[in-house]
Amino acid sequence: MVEITAKEVKELRQATGAGVLDCKKALQETDGDMQGATEILRAQGLADASKRAGRATEQGLVDSYIHLGGKIGVLLEINCETDFVARTDEFQELAHNICMQIAAADPDYIDREEIPEEVLEQEKRILRQQADGEGKPPEIVERIIEGRLEKFYSQVCLVDQAYIRDADLTIGELLKEAIASVGENIQLRRFARFAVGQD
């Protein structure tokens, strides 16, 4: 077995936010491979995060962000389980980063469940007309519509959007990582985005 140094454990801990023992164990499992250990810890954290997803979130904060010299503003309510977590720098930074995401990417909804049925049906009709107009065979039109709907979700749903600071992550994945890190369920409750001259 490869000898794991305290320096390696510290480095992995800083990169992932996981506990010392978890970091050491992950490094031992991967024979000191930092990337492999990071993947193990992320998988564990995301598994733990999904278990926490059903827990009540009645604490949190309302954060705001003003951009472009007062031309765009965002208000966001983000909830967690305890006031203790709501007051941490990590939680407040998450809230601020999501406010910046909303300012930059202008989502319409938090997630797919918020999209009204009539909006979704209209989008499907448009996509079907496009696919028919391209002369696609009927048997693959449904698959094309599903693929294009995913693109639609990634534009209008906050949790499906690519994170502006790391395009490899969606906001949903960023939330799961935060849940794994703080050990509490976190939910985006609501947001409002204001832009001068826009309704």
- Distance between CA atoms of 111 and 105, rounded to whole angstroms? 14
- Distance between CA atoms of 52 and 153, rounded to whole angstroms? 24
Confidence tier at 192 by pLDDT (50, 70, 90): very high
pLDDT tens string 116-160 = 999 999 999 999 888 888 887 877 888 888 899 999 999 999 999
Mean pLDDT within 76-83: 94
Could you tell me which CATH class the domain 6-52 is placed in? mainly alpha
**Amino acid, res. 134:** E
Confidence tier at 48 by pLDDT (50, 70, 90): low
- Distance between CA atoms of 25 and 28, rounded to whole angstroms? 5
pLDDT tens string 98-116 = 999 999 999 999 999 999 9
- Distance between CA atoms of 27 and 140, rounded to whole angstroms? 45
71-101 burial string, b = 16+ CB within 10 Å, else e?
ebbbebebbbbeeebbeeeebeebbbbbbeb
Q: Which CATH superfamily is domain 59-110+157-195 in?
A: Elongation factor Ts, dimerisation domain (3.30.479.20)
- What's the token pair of residue 63? 């954060």
According to the model, what pLDDT value does residue 170 have?
A: 95
Alpha carbon distances (Å) from 141 to 32, 79, 120, 135: 48, 40, 17, 9
pTM, to two decimals? 0.70
Is the domain 116-156 a CATH 1.10.286.20 member? Answer: yes
Is pLDDT at 15 greater than 80 in this prediction? no
> By the 8 A CB rule, do 158 and 111 touch?
yes
Domain extents in the chain: 6-52, 59-110+157-195, 116-156
Give 73's strand partners: 66, 194
3-state secondary structure of 60: strand
DSSP state of 192: E
Confidence tier at 197 by pLDDT (50, 70, 90): confident
Is pLDDT at 17 greater than 70 in this prediction? no
